[in-house]
C-alpha cells in the first residue's frame, strides 16, 4: 500500500470532486502525489443515500476508498461540508490521517447556515433546482465576482448552477444543518491548515476561525474569495494547499 504523499479529497454539499476540486487536481497531484477523491452519496457516480447521512459512516467510507486505492496513510483536504467529514475521519481513524487542509470549514451550523441549508434541502428535494440556484448564487460567490456581471450573465450563472445540482443534494444539505464536530476539534492530532474564505456569505468566516481556534496547533490563513475558491481563485487556493502538504510530507 502507498504510505506517503497521498491525499484524499472530500467535497461540499451539492457539489462533487470534479466540480469542487477539478480546477486544482493537477496542482494537487504535482510531484507524484497520489490524489483520491471521495464523492458523497448521490454525486459523482455514487448512489444516492436511502436514509439520512451520518458523519461516522462518511468517514468510514472515505477510509474504505483509501483502502480500495491501496493508500494506507494520507492527508485529507476537505471543503465546506467535506471539512466535517475530514475532521471526523482524523478523530475516528487517527492512525490513517497525516494532516488536514480545511477550506471554508464549520464545526456546526450557526442559525444563518442552518436556515439556508434547510431551505436548500427542501427546494432540492422538491425538484426546484432553479430556486436552489437563486438562493445559492448570491451566497456562494463574492460581491467582487458578482457585481461586475451584467444581469444576463448572472442569469446564465443561475441557469448553469441549477442544471448542475446532483441528486444527492437534499441529503447533503440536511447533513450541513445537523453536523456537529465541536467535540472532535481538540482531539485532532495532526498538522492542520484552515483556509478561511474571507468574503464567504454562506459559511461565515467566524465559523472558520472557530475551527482553527479549536484544533491544537492549527494554522489559519485567509483567501479573499467567496465560498467557491475553485471558481474565484483556484490558482492561489491550490498553491496554499500544496505548499502546506509539502511541509507536512517533508516533516
Residue numbers annotated as active site: 80, 200, 227
Task: Give the C-alpha separation, 174 to 17, whole Å.
Answer: 19
Which residue in the block uniquely carries the three cell numbers 480546477? 23
Positive/negative CA dihedral, 199, 205, 211, 212: positive
Task: Give the C-alpha separation, 231 to 165, whole Å.
Answer: 16
Q: SS3 of 212, please? A: helix
CA–chain centroid gap for 182, Å, is: 17
Q: How far is CA 227 from CA 143, 163, 238, 241, 250, in A?
A: 11, 19, 15, 16, 30
- Number of other residues whose CB lies within 10 A of the CB of residue 199: 17
With CA atoms as reference, report the closest residue to 225 among 201, 192, 193. Answer: 201
Task: Give the C-alpha separation, 50 to 52, whole Å.
Answer: 7
Q: Residue 174 phi/psi, 5° resolution?
A: -65, -40
Amino acid at each position: 500500500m502507498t504510505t506517503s504523499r497521498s491525499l484524499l479529497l472530500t467535497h461540499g454539499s451539492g457539489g462533487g470532486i470534479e466540480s469542487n476540486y477539478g480546477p486544482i487536481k493537477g496542482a494537487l497531484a504535482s510531484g507524484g502525489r497520489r490524489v483520491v477523491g471521495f464523492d458523497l452519496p448521490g454525486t459523482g457516480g455514487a448512489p444516492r443515500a436511502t436514509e439520512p447521512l451520518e458523519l461516522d459512516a462518511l468517514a468510514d467510507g472515505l477510509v474504505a476508498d483509501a483502502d480500495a486505492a491501496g493508500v494506507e496513510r494520507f492527508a485529507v483536504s476537505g471543503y465546506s461540508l467535506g471539512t466535517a467529514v475530514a475532521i471526523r475521519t482524523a478523530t475516528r481513524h487517527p492512525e490513517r490521517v497525516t494532516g488536514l487542509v480545511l477550506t471554508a470549514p464549520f464545526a456546526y451550523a450557526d442559525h444563518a447556515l442552518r436556515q439556508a441549508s434547510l431551505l436548500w434541502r427542501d427546494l432540492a428535494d422538491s425538484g426546484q433546482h432553479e430556486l436552489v440556484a437563486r438562493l445559492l448564487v448570491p451566497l456562494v460567490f463574492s460581491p467582487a465576482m458578482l457585481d461586475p456581471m451584467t444581469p444576463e450573465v448572472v442569469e446564465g450563472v443561475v441557469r448553469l448552477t441549477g442544471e448542475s445540482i446532483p441528486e444527492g443534494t437534499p441529503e447533503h444539505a440536511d447533513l450541513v444543518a445537523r453536523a456537529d464536530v465541536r467535540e472532535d476539534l481538540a482531539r485532532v492530532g495532526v498538522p492542520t491548515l484552515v483556509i478561511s474564505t474571507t468574503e464567504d456569505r454562506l459559511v461565515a468566516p467566524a465559523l472558520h476561525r472557530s475551527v482553527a481556534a479549536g484544533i491544537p496547533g492549527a494554522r489559519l490563513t485567509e483567501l479573499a474569495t467567496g465560498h467557491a475558491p475553485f471558481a474565484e481563485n483556484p490558482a492561489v487556493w491550490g498553491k496554499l494547499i500544496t505548499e502546506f502538504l509539502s511541509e507536512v510530507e517533508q516533516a
